[in-house]
Structure 1
């Protein structure tokens, strides 16, 4: 601030150097699987099951993903990221329902459903009378009920559309940007003719059951397809891959690919037990055939039994990933990511039974193998009763044995990664290092006050180092700034030992 020539008091505002690091969400759950409708290979956020039904169709007995999503929201989940995977009915088939709208010049306006599936057969196109003395036209798109074609459930109206490329109302661009129902497959040269009755869409197919080739094949990552469509998402924390069909579980290749991808994205994979796992004694030996052990994967056993609304609410067997993800989200909201998502509070809502009722002895053989058990107890009912990663086998002695410890580390990593972006291209010297220590230290202090770490003082709970001792001149010359953060996590009280002694009065 320049001092002027007259005497007086001058005020100058200085930068405090404080940049708040906000903790990221840790319960955004991604679901990858088959659905009746909706965008393919495009992550879509839904915040309740009603929104899922509108975007991807209701429950479908050929697609277990819908049930998993419903159980996620029933158990406390609040944000899901849906990736619809589609397997064409034939090579190079689009499986899109289409409609042909006649035009004055002979070349028709060809419309196609926005996504593949039989749902497109419920679409209708209407061209009402156009504006007087104008080259533009109006277009109404309808989706009718599958059981009552006279009932319109969704309607979209587009006014003053044109056939001129580059025009703000060019029909192809407007439908691509604003319509959830239809896309233009071929644009005519002349204005479409007014329709006397709605034009029905024909064709469309739900495709074949999906396989690992559409979900986790190595070549899919380059095209951001299947599981790797999540590259389009900014953040997800939990990953669920329900069975491809009611009788087809993801295999070792899919689980391993998903676990590796979760390590890249700082997320946790929830691994489901195969339907054939009904004998608890055989589970420990079968774990290695299901998934390669990873600090970013957690296995839950057994499957759950819940009411199936498509079968008169009779109980059916379902994978537990959706319900468990909901319990994790609920625990995060109430207690924090450092609290183990297990215990009497980790009840499974809408789950009256489990496929296997484990005894304490059976549980005692599964827990040391890193298998999280679902148990039934008299008062709380069905609960999650384990909080280990697949690295939680006793013989591995991994630092990431416990799920809350691993998730807390991922939470800190992701939050600091996003909260220190401002450091890039700043002068790499002591003023920068002191700002880093201040900002990161404030973030870690907030976690300490909320009970995320062990210790009674900050010095016992965590440390933040960024200075000359960790930033030698050779690193500075290469443009590297080193920040070392350490923390003492709170580990779950997995085994509570109570010693009882009988005494004689007066002794």
Structure 2
């Protein structure tokens, strides 16, 4: 900034350097979409461990393959995941009168409970809410200016019977207009319940401490089988007292992901619009153990828009290499941002007394992507002897070298068993990897490196918008983007011995003409020479003939 000189002496002024460091984005944030036992619906929730998934979404569930995929993701090196829970609701029956207006869309049922006249509703739908219990006590803070408990306040304790967690909400009131009205406080502080309907005014009654024959303050039944009166709480169904219990919904269909108005309302697949970033998408099977082709096609298009990859699981009908080869057209996409892995994993199922079952590989493969990115970089193919499948004792279909030789040219990545390494990923091609397509995006690491650079530069050049469009701006762009690309070159992300061989950044009067300037456009051209995996290693061995001395 200009310095106003007022006195004789030395003035110091800081001059901006023009350096705006571009930070590379994460490369292996994996989004999982499907059914879970509990958790918010149509909301992307970030987790950093499988323990987080168990706490927030209920862990493994025999009715859904999503939990198993998340478990395999973390077993194999995954670090950050985004979970979107969907809840299947049976559609209403068609109206008897064909001219009648359409029925409103069905609503996912929430369990409710009544405590001292206050009706509480589970925050999230599902049967987990049937096990909620609540209690009220009056051990509250003193009223202002006194030493006696405030007569308008009470404490609300809610117990999650599924996890044993007790949530204690202190010093709330049912008085209208009170700054700690119970409805507002629960909305902001509770993960378990919210109020349902109007809250009766006045201080609600409190539950007694343990009574004779009651072993647990959260139990409504005494040891002799009689009921505690008054009970700690009464669990009721969402449609009224004692009308049954809330269930976990019905099986999902593609309409629950990509149905009408889903994108507009940011629901289903498009709930990921509320997530800042994800790099890999997994949709574990939800219907007859296969994901419908129309959903895969739509999800692949969405991944291209979000600069991410989708990992597609093999179909249940892929029982050998021939059915796999012939099944590619049935997947619904040949996107450059999609990859398929075959066969399925054979693992013991703890939800079925450890009986061995077949599980989809998308979660485990996504974990290997994350592990490889951490150890080597996104430009390294997530395959080979280091890409071992942790927790996978067996594969559903054993493959030989010859069979893999038929699958690989079709763009199908094989999972195989090797004597020393165990079960490994033995392929690194996108669905554009079919040799007949001759695509420049044949390999997964090449495509993922491009997506990484695109997303990083997209986020790192937002400052350019509205800057004066002339040579000073162009030189700053070349400086900052060049520094980012040079850093990748030093890490070994590109081919070439010198930076000139490895990448270029061009932004000058040749890329941005006067007409572009008049239109408010600045054109930046970035090129890089990608590393491609050595798929075929050829050893040439010959016998040395005896030499005749001269």
Alignment-derived partner of residue 225 in structure 1 = 267
CA contact (8 A) 1:41 1:85 kept: yes
CA contact (8 A) 1:370 1:388 kept: yes
Aligned-partner Cα distance in 1 for 2:54–2:90 = 23
Alignment-derived partner of residue 215 in structure 2 = none
Alignment-derived partner of residue 148 in structure 1 = none
Report the alpha carbon displacement of residue 163 of structure 1 after superposing the two structures with TM: 3.5
Aligned-partner Cα distance in 2 for 1:81–1:421 = 25
Alignment-derived partner of residue 279 in structure 1 = 320
Alignment-derived partner of residue 198 in structure 1 = 232
1:100 aligns with 2:119: no
Aligned-partner Cα distance in 2 for 1:2–1:236 = 46
List aligned pairs for 1:21-420, cutoff 5 A.
21-89=22-90, 91=92, 92-102=106-116, 108-129=117-138, 131=140, 132-145=149-162, 153-163=164-174, 167-191=178-202, 192-196=204-208, 197-203=231-237, 204-245=246-287, 247-420=288-461
Between 127-136 and 178-187, the greater mean CA deviation after superposition: 127-136
Report the alpha carbon displacement of residue 281 of structure 1 after superposing the two structures with TM: 1.4
CA contact (8 A) 1:352 1:382 kept: yes
Over the aligned positions, Cα root-mean-square deviation in angstroms equals 1.6
- Structure 2 unaligned regions, length at least 5: 93-105, 141-148, 209-230, 238-245
TM-score, scaled relative to structure 1? 0.95
- Structure 1 unaligned regions, length at least 5: 103-107, 146-151
**Does the C-alpha gap of structure 1 residues 167 and 18 become closer, same or farther in structure 2, counting only changes over 3 Å?**
farther
Report the alpha carbon displacement of residue 47 of structure 1 after superposing the two structures with TM: 1.1
Aligned-partner Cα distance in 2 for 1:323–1:28 = 14
CA contact (8 A) 1:27 1:79 kept: yes
Report the alpha carbon displacement of residue 195 of structure 1 after superposing the two structures with TM: 3.0
Give the structure with higher Rg (CA).
Answer: 2
CA contact (8 A) 1:448 1:458 kept: yes
Q: For residues 252-280 of structure 1, give each alpha carbon's deviation from its aligned partner in whole angstroms, at most 9, with x where no partner exists.
A: 10110110010010000000001111021
CA contact (8 A) 1:96 1:113 kept: yes
Report the alpha carbon displacement of residue 7 of structure 1 after superposing the two structures with TM: 4.3
Report the alpha carbon displacement of residue 316 of structure 1 after superposing the two structures with TM: 1.2
Report the alpha carbon displacement of residue 283 of structure 1 after superposing the two structures with TM: 1.7
Aligned-partner Cα distance in 2 for 1:60–1:503 = 63
Aligned-partner Cα distance in 1 for 2:353–2:249 = 27
CA contact (8 A) 1:120 1:202 kept: no
Q: For residues 269-303 of structure 1, give each alpha carbon's deviation from its aligned partner in whole angstroms, at most 9, with x where no partner exists.
A: 00000111102112222101113100110000010
CA contact (8 A) 1:240 1:269 kept: yes
Residue from 449, 456, 465 that aligns with 2:497: 456
Aligned-partner Cα distance in 1 for 2:464–2:3 = 29
Moved over 4 A (4+): 164-167
CA contact (8 A) 2:317 2:323 kept: no
Q: Find the residue that maps to 2:137 and give its secondary structure.
A: coil
Aligned-partner Cα distance in 1 for 2:133–2:27 = 42
Q: Find the residue that maps to 2:327 and give its secondary structure.
A: helix
CA contact (8 A) 2:3 2:13 kept: no
Q: Find the residue that maps to 1:153 and give its secondary structure.
A: coil
1:491 aligns with 2:491: no
CA contact (8 A) 1:41 1:225 kept: yes
CA contact (8 A) 2:111 2:126 kept: yes
TM-score, scaled relative to structure 2? 0.87
Aligned-partner Cα distance in 1 for 2:463–2:9 = 37
CA contact (8 A) 2:87 2:108 kept: no
